[in-house]
Amino acid sequence: MGISTRQYQDIMNEYDAVRRRNYMAEQERKERVYALIPEIRQIDEQIAHISVEKAKALLLKQVSNAEAKKSLQNTIYDLSMEKVNLLAIHDYPADYLDPIYDCPECKDTGYIGDKKCRCFQQKIRHILYSQSNIEDVAGTESFSAFRREYYSTQRSGREKLSPRENIENVLSASHSFIESFDSKPGQNLLIYGNAGVGKTFLSNCIAGELLNRGKGVIYLTAYQFFDQLADYTFRRGANNAQTLPAFLHCDLLIIDDLGTELNNSFINSQLFLCINERILNKKSTIISTNLSLEQINRSYTERVFSRIIQSYTLLHIYGEDIRIKKAFSSLDE
């Protein structure tokens, strides 16, 4: 689910509007030049007349196709050069009467052959980013900005790997998740660990990569997620009728900070509904949380915990609070 049919049609309507606007600009230029240089109007009329006559001759088989084509090309070239010379004499650029395009590659159609043009892909990315809720951080929270030096190389406690070694494994798993997103649909990630270790940052890195590949992503904090579901369930109207369908069918749903919401039976039932339906439909979900696995088991129903354990890749991030590290670093500068 990249963009909806309605969004696709909105893009096509935008291209229609661009073509109409540019056509009007072309006509204004042409009328301006015709008024100043009448000879150019005569040349254009001559080109049109010759083209019609050649077409008639072809239909009547008075000339061969190759002969007619070559003759027409030569004549139009000679007349076009006359136009260019006249434009130059009056200080107009040679391409002043050429068609105007916002995107010369696709000529403002959105397509090159049967493939979407780069400008069309950019419009799709803009829509996907705007509805993903990560548009504000997309430029700063990316894999290229991920700072491994915030993770210590020293092992401590019961962990077999240092925070640095562990985050390398987590990043490798995250890249695998992205690269196999199409070939292995329905993969899910549970990213858990203490506050400030980079869980949300990592989720946004993954989201940004997939958005750039044209995937539909929705990012919400757990509070926003359940608040919107409650609004959909108890106060449904025209403005929120698509909330649940969007949550169930987007390519990637990210629920950030699970456990910060006020837990109750409604929360548990809605969480199970969403993650279970997405598993059945092979739609990917990322859940991040400060809770340990034991705390998740205690806080949510057995059905919820079972689905997560069975169907999610568990990525445990540990280390020092990066926010505190950054704060101390700024004080030292």
Check residue 235 and give its pLDDT. Answer: 86
Half-sphere exposure of 24 (CA within 13 A, CB side): 5
The angle formed by the CA atoms of residues 265, 268 and 273, to the nearest 5 degrees, is 125
Q: What pLDDT, on a 0 to 100 scale, did the predictor assign at position 50? A: 82
DSSP letters, 287-329, are EEESS-HHHHHHHS-HHHHHHHHHHSEEEE--SS-HHHHHHHH
In this structure, the strands spanning 115-116 and 111-112 are antiparallel
Rounded CA-CA distance 270/266 in Å is: 6
pLDDT at 4 (0 to 100): 79
User: Residue 278 corresponds to which tokens in the numbers above?
Assistant: 């997405």
**pLDDT 10s per residue in the chain (333 long)?**
567 788 899 999 999 999 999 999 999 999 999 999 999 999 989 888 887 876 776 666 655 566 667 777 788 888 889 989 999 999 999 999 999 999 999 999 999 999 999 899 888 878 887 877 787 776 688 999 999 999 999 988 788 999 999 999 999 999 999 999 999 999 999 999 999 999 999 999 999 999 988 888 999 999 999 999 998 889 887 777 878 888 998 999 999 999 999 889 999 999 999 999 999 999 999 999 999 999 999 999 999 999 999 999 999 999 999 988 777 665 555
pLDDT of residue 62: 57
Q: What six digits make up the tokens of 1? A: 């689910």
- pLDDT for position 138: 67
Which stretches does DSSP call E strand in the chain? 111-112, 115-116, 188-192, 217-221, 252-258, 284-289, 313-316
Per-residue confidence (pLDDT) for residue 111, from 0 to 100: 96
**Given this model, what pLDDT does residue 47 score?**
86
Is the Cβ–Cβ distance between 322 and 198 less than 8 Å? yes
- Measured CA to CA, the distance from residue 52 to residue 56 in angstroms comes to 6
Q: What is the crossing angle of helices 199-212 and 118-132, to 10°?
A: 150
Find tokens 């199970």 and name the residue: 272
Task: Burial-class residue 197 by CB neighbours within 10 Å (0-12, 13-18, 19+).
Answer: buried
